[in-house]
Structure 1
């Protein structure tokens, strides 16, 4: 019987590889599933060929091209999931900021948030289906095109990380502390901004799931910058509300539940809190010791991570050795292998392939002797 994301929305081909979904739910897996953050992107020659000179945000708005870019790494590697090609910065656009440049080409936003009055000009209740419909169309198309080969990820940026970009225009150059200063200098406006973004993230994730996403991740790429006090006071409540409200909305809309992952880079101090925040999986960056993270997280969540992305520049033998050590430390159950952050743009795809294959090889070997 074909899977469906709801009784009356979409019907898709049966899933052939559910390793990641089982691992996320804490079910037994015969090998460790693996995918990598930014696996669809500029390190692949086929990505460059398909995208050409098309601007980044324009690429994100092209469902057919997004579908092609999303599936490219699935064709090249034995990854256990696809992740939709998109960007976390589309949510600030949906709530009212305007584009100045593509990411990496100077200021992303023409009208960053600098004062409390800037928050008031945002749309607190945008029509997300109208603003970001191209994402949902791309997800449905990609899910159908995958024909059940692997699950499809949706994702969103976490509220604080979005605030960081909206205030500091990160790729325009360093504006250290401006966003954190906003949180403490204008706490009322900051909480209003976080609430607007949290609502948008919840809706965006639900609509992605409705369109066909089978697992979702919340990226808090600057989470660790807050430190324990601000993270616990300002961001953690947002992350908790996202996990709880998404799951509640899925029940209300009679949609199948999907696993949820939270990845808060550099937030070592919050592993225990994140493990109890309603997510099925906690992602780890490369600076965390797997055994220490296991102790902090406990046995009720799956861990994801955490090979240092620069290891993809090591020799193939060194990659294999480091991968084997990582799998041994994490164990083969309640574990999803990944990098500790996104794959770097100059990475040799063949080296990444060695890493992916080694995850499967060594985890299968460990399971066979268990």
Structure 2
């Protein structure tokens, strides 16, 4: 029996809201680019900046994984650093390194110098890409923003970090400057996400990628207030909200109490463990991306385990615990998507019977 689609596929949106749907939806963080040969060919002559500032090209890159892997959602190709140059941050995405900041934040004066984002002029290219995609896609379009702690960590460290020593020192040692930085980044994120939703985004993922570096008490004191303010500001727009972090499963019960629809999990805790702790909101995850280099039998076994646990609720979306990396073969993601669809469709049919 075919489980293909002939019309708009809204399984992802239904899973976000806990509505009945016919198979588990799946998409992959960093599914656009990285391991795709078509993307690598484009990158030979175009930087990330070039691609994201060309709405037609950016839309093409965004659609590639949907067309190749049959994923149930598209996520806009861009970077969490996208709005920062427009508020006065000297940022460059360096190959093999990531974001590098030329003017790191060190004190209150640096924070006060940050400007205000004007989305319709500053990031018009992003909004135009969203509008183009909404005309073509037959799956929901997810867009995103970086959460204040993660953005701040780059701005203070000057680039990627393993330990976030400078960030924590700033947070602990200059609490007033930290609070002001969180307020400014919160305002930027709200404006940025509002504009993306108004342009046509159908779901939002807030990436707090590195917030797992904090313990729960520090998260509640220094970070939760601004994230809650962002979520409350976005909530009236009526689109599903996903909150994701890496190494942050110790924060799930805190996130559970926040105005968010879906919690993104990495592989450090099982879905069953999260449910046992009282997490009843939507869960997205949580295959370790490293497994994508394992033999197919190993991948299939782990995917079954995740599906069996996740499908105890309609509020489940299959994803990775972190993003696709360049060594992953596109054929593996295509095969995994087909397996998830077929296995979950059959299991749902059995449950109906």
Residue by residue over 1:214-234, the C-alpha shift from the partner in whole angstroms, topping out at 9 and shown as x without a partner, is: 111000100110111221111
| Paired position in structure 1 for 2:223 | 235
Question: Whole-Å Cα distance in 1 between the matches of residues 93 and 350 of structure 2?
Answer: 53
Q: CA deviation at 1:325?
A: 1.2
Q: CA deviation at 1:106?
A: 6.7
Q: 298, 301, 304: which is aligned to 1:321?
A: 301
Tell me, yes or no, if structure 1 residue 74 matches structure 2 residue 74: no
| Paired position in structure 2 for 1:365 | 346
| Paired position in structure 1 for 2:183 | 195
Equivalent runs, 1:187-266 vs 2, <5 Å: 187-248=175-236, 250=237, 257-266=238-247
Q: CA deviation at 1:107?
A: 5.9
Residue by residue over 1:219-265, the C-alpha shift from the partner in whole angstroms, topping out at 9 and shown as x without a partner, is: 010011011122111111122111111123x3xxxxxx111100122
| Paired position in structure 1 for 2:321 | 340
Residue 170 of structure 1 aligns to a residue whose secondary structure is coil
Q: 322, 335, 351: which is aligned to 1:354?
A: 335
Q: CA deviation at 1:93?
A: 1.9
Question: Whole-Å Cα distance in 2 between the matches of residues 247 and 140 of structure 1?
Answer: 21
Given that 2:101 and 2:155 are in contact with CA atoms closer than 8 Å, whether structure 1 keeps it comes out as yes
Q: CA deviation at 1:50?
A: 2.8
The TM-score normalised by the length of structure 2 is 0.93
Q: CA deviation at 1:91?
A: 2.7
Given that 1:56 and 1:103 are in contact with CA atoms closer than 8 Å, whether structure 2 keeps it comes out as no
Residue by residue over 1:37-59, the C-alpha shift from the partner in whole angstroms, topping out at 9 and shown as x without a partner, is: 00001210011123332122232
Q: 35, 48, 51: which is aligned to 1:43?
A: 35
**Stretch of structure 1 that moved more, 46-55 or 36-45:** 46-55
**RMSD (Å) for aligned C-alpha atoms:** 1.7
Indicate how the Cα distance of structure 1 residues 288 and 178 shifts in structure 2: closer, same or farther if over 3 A, else same. same
Equivalent runs, 1:1-370 vs 2, <5 Å: 16-102=8-94, 104-105=96-97, 108-123=100-115, 125-146=116-137, 149-171=138-160, 176-248=164-236, 250=237, 257-299=238-280, 301-331=281-311, 333-370=314-351
Segments of 4+ in structure 1 off by > 6 A? none
Question: Whole-Å Cα distance in 1 between the matches of residues 190 and 298 of structure 2?
Answer: 41
Indicate how the Cα distance of structure 1 residues 27 and 157 shifts in structure 2: closer, same or farther if over 3 A, else same. same
Q: CA deviation at 1:362?
A: 1.5
Given that 1:221 and 1:263 are in contact with CA atoms closer than 8 Å, whether structure 2 keeps it comes out as yes
Question: Whole-Å Cα distance in 2 between the matches of residues 30 and 131 of structure 1?
Answer: 40
Question: Whole-Å Cα distance in 2 between the matches of residues 78 and 192 of structure 1?
Answer: 43
Q: CA deviation at 1:115?
A: 2.2
| Paired position in structure 2 for 1:11 | none
Structure 1 portions without partners, runs of 5+: 1-13, 251-256
The TM-score normalised by the length of structure 1 is 0.89
Indicate how the Cα distance of structure 1 residues 119 and 136 shifts in structure 2: closer, same or farther if over 3 A, else same. same
